[in-house]
Amino acid sequence: MFLQMALLTVLVPGGDSDDDYQEPISLRTILTTSFCNRSWTQNQGSAWLDELQTRGWDSKTGAFIFLWPWSRGNFSNEELMEQEKSFHTFFTRFPLVFQDHASQWQLEYPFQVQLAGGCDSHFGEASTGFMQIAYQGPDLVSFQNTSWWPSPKGGRRAQQVCKLFNQYHVVNLRIQANINDMCPHFLLGLLEAGKADLQRQMRPEAWLSTGPSPGSGHLLLVCHVSGFYPKPVWVTWMRGDQEHQGTRRGDVLPHADGTWYLQTSLDVEAREAADLSCLVRHSSLEGQDMVFYWEQHRPVDLVFLVVSVPLVLLAGLASWLWKRQKSHKTPQCTGLPLE
Ligand SMILES: *[C@@H]1O[C@H](CO)[C@@H](O)[C@H](O)[C@H]1NC(C)=O
């Protein structure tokens, strides 16, 4: 929690530094190849700015699919076409290596290989690039300087893969140029072009509810926070002005529009729920925390009772009086001439 608060303090835009990206942002290209059998593979390529997809890839034509108006960054059409061509070549040749060595490397069909490469930007400075290959999930080998290194848990297979890949000097020099020169250049251009979307501030909406009862006499209080951007957010249950230690934070989940959702729950004894509140801190709130009190949420039922019980009683009384009046009236009316 302290770490999150510290992080948030850093992320909350302050004064003159509004224009800078305050956190490391990575640009990564991912190629996922599914090997179904000896003759059938399927490729999926995409590019991501942290958790935001900027580009897709049509595996048949090799064309990039730009998902945002700024996805082309500051690259000219010629540069992008050049990139497209080299990606297509690389993306179609790379899986063949695995197919050709399936039995030597003891790869068992069906299996999946993922290649991820890119670079980071930190405080407007691009740092060194990275590239990794994973087999069936865990990392297998990674690229450093101009050569491939086995991952600690990659075993014999990882060593065999490195041995082969380290023979492709020309390819490795191109990879190095790609992740250390071209990628940072493209990333900085992308951050500049996409500024309006990437630095937008979306205020969260929040509400309270109860979750499935955790046991008799207990309540599961849930604080929902939805529609915020950027992702860092701090949500906690408070008793008075103390952070409640029992706060359980869920995963921050994506909405289709690129904003985020988080729910944070607390298991408490029903009679101890009274002075609890949910506190939401987010950069879009500009230092004004949102606070939601359980008491004010909970008493909705109470207010309903307080208002409705007397209403019901009143209605009962009214109809009783009405009947009584009627029954009194009726005799009175007899004998009066009808008009
Ligand atoms: C390979 O897998 C594909 C997709 O599952 C299937 O359609 C095809 O018949 C398979 N080919 C062989 C030779 O098993």
Residue 132 burial by Cβ neighbours in a 10 Å radius (0-12, 13-18, 19+): middle
Place 334 in a pLDDT band, splitting at 50, 70 and 90.
very low
Best residue for ligand 1 mutational test, from 34, 35, 40, 109 (most atoms within 8 Å of Cβ): 40
Cross-strand partners of 46? 30, 56
Q: Which atom of ligand 1 is nearest to the CA of 37?
A: 1
C-beta 320 within 6 A of ligand 1: no
Six-digit token string for 333: 């009316």
Percent of the chain at pLDDT > 90 equals 63
* Per-residue pLDDT at 319 exceeds 70: no
What is the Cα gyration radius of the chain? 31
> Confidence band (pLDDT; 50, 70, 90) for 332?
very low
For residue 222, what pLDDT band results from cuts at 50, 70 and 90?
very high
Q: How many Å from the N-terminal Cα to the C-terminal Cα in the chain?
A: 83
CA angle 53, 54, 58 (to 5 degrees): 95
Distance 136 CA to ligand 1 centre (A): 20
C-alpha dist (Å) from residue 279 to 159, 190, 224, 238, 247: 51, 35, 11, 7, 11
CATH ID of 205-300, from 2.60.40.10, 3.40.50.300, 3.40.50.10800, 2.30.30.100:
2.60.40.10
What's the pLDDT score for residue 163? 96
Domain 2-198, CATH: 3.30.500.10
Task: Give 22's pLDDT tier (boundaries 50, 70, 90).
Answer: low
Please work out whether the CB of residue 39 comes within 6 Å of at least one atom of ligand 1. Answer: yes
- Over residues 202-220, the pLDDT tens digits come to 999 999 999 998 888 999 9
Predicted confidence at residue 312, as pLDDT, reads 53
Looking at residues 76-93, what average pLDDT do you find? Answer: 89
Q: Where are the domains of the chain?
A: 2-198, 205-300
- Ligand 1 atom 8, closest CA: 40
Beta bridge partners of 202: 229
How many CA atoms are closer than 13 Å to the CA of 225, on its beta-carbon side? 34
Q: Which atom of ligand 1 is nearest to the CA of 36?
A: 2
pLDDT at 329 over 50: no
- pLDDT at position 336 over 60: no
Distance CA 280, CA 261 (A): 12
Does residue 1 have a pLDDT over 80? no
40 lines ligand 1 (CB under 6 A): yes
Reported as a single tens digit per residue, the pLDDT across 232-281 is 999 999 998 999 999 999 999 999 888 999 999 999 998 888 889 999 99
For residue 290, give every residue at least 6 positions away whose Cβ sits within 8 Å of its Cβ, in sequence order, or none: 204, 206, 279, 280, 281, 282
Q: Which of 33, 35, 36 to mutate to test the pocket of ligand 1 (most atoms within 8 A of CB)?
A: 36
Q: Whose CA is nearest to atom 6 of ligand 1?
A: 40
Three-point CA angle 54, 58, 61, nearest 5°: 140
User: In this predicted structure, what is the pLDDT of residue 20?
Assistant: 56
Summarize the confidence of residues 27-48 as an average pLDDT: 93
Is the pTM here over 0.75, yes or no? no
Please enumerate in sequence order all residues whose Cβ is within 8 A of that of 43, keeping only pairs 6 or more positions apart, or say none: 31, 32, 33, 57, 59, 91, 92, 95
> How far does the centroid of ligand 1 lie from the alpha carbon of residue 313, in Å?
74
- Give the tokens for residue 70: 């700024």
Sign of the Cα torsion 40, 46, 50, 51 reads: negative
pLDDT tens digits for 148-187?
999 999 999 999 999 999 999 999 999 999 999 999 999 9
- Ranking 4-8, 238-242, 281-285, 334-338 by mean pLDDT, the lowest is 334-338
Is the Cβ atom of 171 under 6 angstroms away from ligand 1? Answer: no
Angle at 193 between CA 251 and CA 75, to 5 degrees: 115
DSSP 8-state class, residue 202: B
